[in-house]
Chain A
């Protein structure tokens, strides 16, 4: 499932999304990066995504003390993701 989301992530220009988690909480932001399982070229398994507020996207996504801003969301916690660019959505079970 993470591969499908990754392919979508690389295909779109505007990465503004609405993410609904499996606990029904929702957040809107920009997908700006991901963490994958390992660097083995034979597989592509993303374990979590980094989402920041829209206005943070143009920054280096770090706070005053050098820590990342935004939220890291585990792939397996995502129930649904909506892409503002093309109005499409993906559902995860």
Chain B
């Protein structure tokens, strides 16, 4: 049974789990979205009805139609997200690399604001509790310290995984959405006229006639920032669970926004003056429990963002967009990973956000710009998917593309003004983008210098070396990792490693090729014996969600070959078996370096220098291939074998 079908079962449990994983981000938007629309403007009918109408129709178009209905169709063996989508469509357009990198970069960048803005919004609500008005003021030292403390603890506990507390996320989000629904309905029942705000003409009126109304889209957009994350988390829950739970979530969200709008229309003051409509509609007796629930929901939203970032970087590594970095699996839970370096980067980013912006209201002014870019990139990749994979009519796809491009471009333009509030993000985005760009393109240049030769041509010589007792034995089993897809081919550098200088004599030569598939969870292999029990090529097909534990897979394959009597491990023609019957497996990893003899064009030179610099910062090939426990010999070879030929070296006459 495939992963897709497993997660597509709909049960009460699966629906509750989906609520806990998928909707953290979008589900906590009512904490700040409508407050951001109102801002410091005079509270009037046009602004409140127009604002809620815009929010409602944004949820309809951008979340329900684009993501819940359309984008979720683009599941890659059950997985979603920009890299899964890219893996599906990459063969239809080479230039799709750039939108993919841009989409991933912007998703990560804006994701840094999600934890601080949600946690700060929740904690700032404490200021409404009687007796705490003087202590909890948005932006004061105590509030900032509480937010810093909560987030720091959250990042600290990432290393232990979320298996223990993860099971409470779903029920807690049920409580959260239940609270949104009840509090919202309570206000709607009191002021049912607010339901008229769902009419789209109020949205049109706000955008077309309200002074500077178009620019309010930057605040309206906050209601849907979590939609992109919703697609990224597809693999955790399955499409049916997401679509069914969305009905409940959307009703709760709309009820909350309408409830806030109803309160705004009847609260009697012209300005918000720092009040948050979300907490204002909550009865005073329920304020502390509601803040606790909101804080829990904010932590769940932040957790979803952090886990999503780990998954994104893990996929980026496996699709060769990111340098190999240490990755751990803190629990046995499938798919749960922890990347220390990314945890530290996001933690520092969140801390800096809080220290720079202080209040959630200030963060609202910076939040959303990058997500619009991520959504536009998803739209572009999605159009390829609809045309080439689902074979939809091109005109229909173009019409959909045009509609979403119009909506998203409008949001993008309205969000551009946020750049001045978030200029520091540009450095972070540039860092992420350049890392992905350099790693991807430099690796391509790097690969251009890998020469593939016919393995068959060297088989006889390998057999001769293997039985030549005059050469000291290097190991009983010698294993090379190869990039050659074709089973009859091998990199020239491997042949040179075997024969050049001190030839490496071994009983069995293994050539292991790791083939990354476009499906996320593939893990298969095939074996070709070019000489029986002497030269063996293994092709391991691994999905982009599978960690390349080469040693583990290799051992498993060898065990299977022995059990099937296809391989005799204990052949030692030199008679050394009597001293040690165990086979001696030795891996040879060949690492390239940039030689001073290399001559490149400016772009290639810069890319390669940056690539090798990043490589030094990242994991060694030995660790990256999961060989750190094995007997590994690392050899270093220059990237280019050909020496510079146009040297004018003149011998001086005596």
CB distance from A89 to the nearest CB of B (A): 21
Query: What does the 1/0 interface line of B485-519 toward A look like (CB < 8 Å)?
Result: 11010001001100110000000000000011110
- Interface locus among A20-28, A29-37, A80-88: A29-37
Q: B130 at interface (Cβ–Cβ under 8 A)?
A: no
CB distance from A60 to the nearest CB of B (A): 6
Contact across chains for B452 and A34 when beta carbons are under 8 A apart: yes
Q: Find chain A residues with CB under 8 A from B495 CB.
A: 60
Separation of A33 and B90 alpha carbons in the complex (Å)? 27
* Among B451, B483, B518, B643, contact of A39 (Cβ-Cβ < 8 Å): B483
CB distance from B100 to the nearest CB of A (A): 14
Contact across chains for B500 and A41 when beta carbons are under 8 A apart: no
A39-B483, A41-B485, A67-B642 known; A60-B499 Cβ under 8 A: yes
- Chain A: CB-nearest residue to B441: A38
* Among B444, B451, B454, contact of A38 (Cβ-Cβ < 8 Å): B444
Q: A62 at interface (Cβ–Cβ under 8 A)?
A: yes
Q: B91 at interface (Cβ–Cβ under 8 A)?
A: yes
A42-B90, A42-B518 known; A10-B488 Cβ under 8 A: yes
CB distance from B185 to the nearest CB of A (A): 52
Q: Find chain A residues with CB under 8 A from B454 CB.
A: 32-33
Separation of A36 and B642 alpha carbons in the complex (Å)? 17
Q: A68 at interface (Cβ–Cβ under 8 A)?
A: yes
* Among A37, A50, A65, contact of B451 (Cβ-Cβ < 8 Å): A50
Q: B450 at interface (Cβ–Cβ under 8 A)?
A: yes
Separation of A7 and B142 alpha carbons in the complex (Å)? 70
Query: What does the 1/0 interface line of A37-74 toward B look like (CB < 8 Å)?
Result: 11101110001001000000000111001111000100
Q: B163 at interface (Cβ–Cβ under 8 A)?
A: no
Contact across chains for A35 and B450 when beta carbons are under 8 A apart: yes
Q: Which of B486, B492, B500 has the most CB of A within 10 A?
A: B492
Separation of A47 and B454 alpha carbons in the complex (Å)? 17
Separation of A66 and B518 alpha carbons in the complex (Å)? 38
Q: Find chain A residues with CB under 8 A from B451 CB.
A: 33-35, 50, 68
Q: Find chain A residues with CB under 8 A from B91 CB.
A: 42-43
Separation of A65 and B453 alpha carbons in the complex (Å)? 20
* Among A39, A50, A62, A72, contact of B500 (Cβ-Cβ < 8 Å): A62
CB distance from B91 to the nearest CB of A (A): 5
Q: Find chain A residues with CB under 8 A from B483 CB.
A: 39
Size bracket, chain B contacts: 20 to 34
Separation of A36 and B91 alpha carbons in the complex (Å)? 16
CB distance from A51 to the nearest CB of B (A): 12
CB distance from B28 to the nearest CB of A (A): 39
- Chain A: CB-nearest residue to B518: A42
Q: Find chain B residues with CB under 8 A from A67 CB.
A: 641-643
Separation of A39 and B90 alpha carbons in the complex (Å)? 14
Q: Give the number of residues in A that approach B within 8 Å (Cβ atoms).
A: 22
A38-B444, A42-B90 known; A68-B485 Cβ under 8 A: no
Separation of A67 and B451 alpha carbons in the complex (Å)? 13
Q: Find chain B residues with CB under 8 A from A38 CB.
A: 443-444, 447-448
Contact across chains for B449 and A35 when beta carbons are under 8 A apart: yes
CB distance from A69 to the nearest CB of B (A): 10
Separation of A62 and B498 alpha carbons in the complex (Å)? 13
Q: Find chain B residues with CB under 8 A from A72 CB.
A: 642
Q: Find chain B residues with CB under 8 A from A41 CB.
A: 485, 515-517
Query: What does the 1/0 interface line of B451-482 toward A look like (CB < 8 Å)?
Result: 11110010000000000000000000000000
Contact across chains for A39 and B450 when beta carbons are under 8 A apart: yes
Separation of A6 and B483 alpha carbons in the complex (Å)? 17
Q: Find chain B residues with CB under 8 A from A68 CB.
A: 451, 492, 641-642
CB distance from A70 to the nearest CB of B (A): 10
A62-B496, A68-B641 known; A36-B516 Cβ under 8 A: no
Separation of A34 and B451 alpha carbons in the complex (Å)? 5
CB distance from B342 to the nearest CB of A (A): 25
* Among B90, B452, B517, B518, contact of A36 (Cβ-Cβ < 8 Å): B452
Contact across chains for A60 and B642 when beta carbons are under 8 A apart: no
Contact across chains for B448 and A37 when beta carbons are under 8 A apart: yes
- B residues sitting closer than 8 Å to A (CB atoms) are 90-91, 443-444, 447-454, 457, 483, 485-486, 488, 492, 495-496, 499-500, 515-518, 641-643
- 10 residue pairs of the A-B complex, CB under 8 angstroms, read A10-B488, A34-B452, A39-B447, A60-B495, A60-B500, A61-B492, A62-B500, A67-B641, A67-B642, A72-B642
The list of the 3 closest CB pairs from A to B, nearest first, reads A33-B453, A39-B483, A33-B451
